[in-house]
Structure 1
Amino acid sequence: MNIEPFQISVSDVEIDDLRRRLRDSRWASATPSESWQQGTDTTWLRELVKYWADSFDWRAAERGLNQQPQFMADVNGQRVHFVHRRGVGPRPYPVVITHGWPGSFFEFHALADRLCDPAAFGADPNDAFDVVIPSLPGFAFSPAPATPGTSAFQVADLWASLMRGLGYERFGAQGGDLGAGVSVALALRHSPVVDGIHLNFLPGSYEPAIDAADSLLTVAEQNFLREKGEWAALEGGYAHMHSTRPRTLAASLNDSPAGLAAWISEKFRAWSDCEGVIERRFSKDELLTNLSLYWYTQSIGTALQMYWENRLQPMRFATGQRVLPPVGFARFPKEINHPPRVWLERTFNVAQWTDMPRGGHFAAMEEPELLAADIRSFFRHFRQ
């Protein structure tokens, strides 16, 4: 496997073009409504767009990103961008961490700090990790697959090959959002080398087999499925669009940075534990670093493609089928779904379950300390 060092380098021409587009934004008129009631609040968005055009320092963000050891690898014919950070401790344990949408590899920088060098944060150096953070195919600097069919299952195959190419015979996996699906697929398809997986989200397409002899769902499961359906009806329009008409949406989002900001920023507000105020959890610079990665790589369209592929290859299990490696699950209170433990136990060997006191969908950015501690606790069992 060929691996080369990688550094981000956006041209001045691209930066100037983005600023021009932002300043020339054509704002939609709308009938009066409560703030954020019908989507992204226009007043807030205009402030963010102005900041992006006039104050945001991409070069500073770029320098920060390039402080991370980044690489490009040719994995089974697919180019993969990834961060690879070595742990500071006597025997670092390898873990591959996978992001989702609308995130990127950027969202894990604070988490990686705590996992790679736990002693720097008052934790045990024996809990150090070697952390591998790949960009999903079609996201940021990982090119889109050349052919259709790359769902979470195929990405899991890529990650298993990547970790083997990096010299790791056995490893753990962690993820939320789309990354949770990849982590589950790793455990399902590569159990001989995957010790265990840690999740902070349950894939939306996950459906355990319900045996005829055990067909009655618990009250907790019935409530979860009802709440899941209610959420999908009111909040899930984005996912339906991504999974059925991604190219129609991509034409707009790839052309308008204001539109891209509206589409993505709304999710950071709606899915986080911010009480409706985004800046309580994410600074403008953090939001715009993530947005700029999508913009400068023109990857929003190819990123949406994975929703299409996952719809065609959902995470559904047959009778008797189980995920063999142990699972640790961190359930954050403002996550977009809240499965009961029994729902996971129908398919997974749940070895650790934690109800977190705070945090939402973007746990690695919102609560890196809580998430890091839970990951350390779970993988401590596999360090022999």
Structure 2
Amino acid sequence: MTVRPFAVDIPQPVLDDLRGRLARTRFLDDSPRRPASGMSAAYLRELVASWLTFDWRSREVWLNQHPQFLADVDGSTLHFAHRRSTTPDAPALLVMHGWPHTFALQLDFAELLPDLDVVVVSMPGFAFSPPLDEPPTEQRLAALMHTLMTDVLGYSGYLTYGEDFTANVSDLIASTHPEAVAGIVVTHAHFLSQAERESTSDPTERAFYDRMAAGWYHQAGYAHVQGTRPDTLAAGLNDSPAGLLAWITEKLVEWSDTPAGDPAGVERRISRERILTEATLYWATQTIASSFTTYFDGADAEISAVEVPAAVFVQRHEHDNPESVARRFYRDLRVFERLPEGGHFTVAEVPRAMAERVRRFALTLR
């Protein structure tokens, strides 16, 4: 299992082609009486104009200030940033992104933890990690991440954190490898299975799941398309940078902790520079298609209760997630807090607040 240094270096012809396509964008006006969403014609025009003049090379310099590597792990290749602390025997923290973000969106958070060894990984099929040859099941992803942290990087113990689909991966790592996981940090707390939701007699639990189910229909179109017609969608997004930008940014807007009805409000949490960095990485690596894989080829694992120390910080979109469920699933729950700020992309939206919380939790484990 070899590890080799990596630096981001997008070929200039790729950037020239991107700008040419952006300059030829055929914009549409908003449809009359269209359903509300996280994107509007006016905001997309703003973003495309900014992308046309975006100084990618300076952004590339910033990315490369974070030491990055490629590792061969169990027949696959993983890309990751690895910020080592100067503190002797510093705790190690594995940080995993979900969809539609990349490792880059979590680097600001990693920078704020100089007293921890922080590994920010690109999940298979995202950015510089090639897709897997086999289905990216939660079990397979958990095994890869654990092997990276232990056999490849040599940590005998580490903390784990995941967002979006990697929240389940993080739970699975902690559940499966309690001998190596010193603790788990959670902002997307464990959900009951459908059968458990239907059988619960707790009114608080039932109210939370009813609320989540009621709002899902109006947001689930993206998931249905990505899970049933992924290649058709990807053909358009891989050919149109404006389309790609709209598809990604809509979710950054809708899922972040920003006011509804104001797409540009996302920049209070995730700056335009960071949004365009995400879009450029997807475009240059042509990974929008492979980023869809977990929607149609992944499989959910049955996850046993987590016995290792846990800190649950409930993000705003799940503000009423019941503490009772967390206490049943995270058997050694040390912290349960409802965050005053921060949505789906929690460590990217409120990196300083989350870094302080993670640091406190890690210190208690030492």
CA distance in 2, matches of 1:29, 1:211: 42
1:123 corresponds in structure 2 to none
CA distance in 2, matches of 1:199, 1:269: 22
Matched, 1:344 2:326: yes
2:139 corresponds in structure 1 to 153
Asked if the contact 1:173/1:196 (under 8 Å) is kept, the reply is yes
Of stretches 19-28 and 222-231 in structure 1, the one that deviates more from structure 2 is: 19-28
Cα displacement (A) at 1:241: 2.3
2:8 corresponds in structure 1 to 8
Gaps of 5+ in 2: none
2:294 corresponds in structure 1 to 306
> Deviations 1:204-240 (Å, cap 9, x if unpaired)?
7x5287499xx44311111111011012111122122
Cα displacement (A) at 1:171: 1.0
CA distance in 1, matches of 2:345, 2:228: 25
Asked if the contact 1:81/1:141 (under 8 Å) is kept, the reply is yes
> Deviations 1:3-40 (Å, cap 9, x if unpaired)?
00000111110001101111111223553347x82552
Residue of 110, 122, 139 corresponding to 1:135? 122
1:1-384 → structure 2 map (5 Å cutoff) = 1-33=1-33, 37-38=36-37, 40-53=39-52, 55-116=53-114, 128-147=115-134, 149-164=135-150, 165-202=152-189, 207=193, 210=196, 215-275=199-259, 276=262, 277-310=265-298, 313-317=299-303, 321-333=304-316, 335=317, 338-349=320-331, 350-383=333-366
CA distance in 2, matches of 1:195, 1:316: 21
CA distance in 2, matches of 1:298, 1:179: 21
* Secondary structure, aligned partner of 2:337: strand
Of stretches 10-19 and 362-371 in structure 1, the one that deviates more from structure 2 is: 362-371
Q: Percent identity?
A: 37
Asked if the contact 2:190/2:329 (under 8 Å) is kept, the reply is no
Q: Give the number of equivalent residue pairs.
A: 360
CA distance in 2, matches of 1:48, 1:136: 26
CA distance in 1, matches of 2:78, 2:26: 36
CA distance in 2, matches of 1:254, 1:105: 20
* Aligned CA distance change for structure 1 residues 38 and 281 (closer, same or farther; 3 Å): closer
Cα displacement (A) at 1:243: 2.6
Gaps of 5+ in 1: 117-127
Moved over 6 A (4+): none
Of stretches 16-25 and 339-348 in structure 1, the one that deviates more from structure 2 is: 339-348
Asked if the contact 1:6/1:71 (under 8 Å) is kept, the reply is yes
Cα displacement (A) at 1:203: 6.0
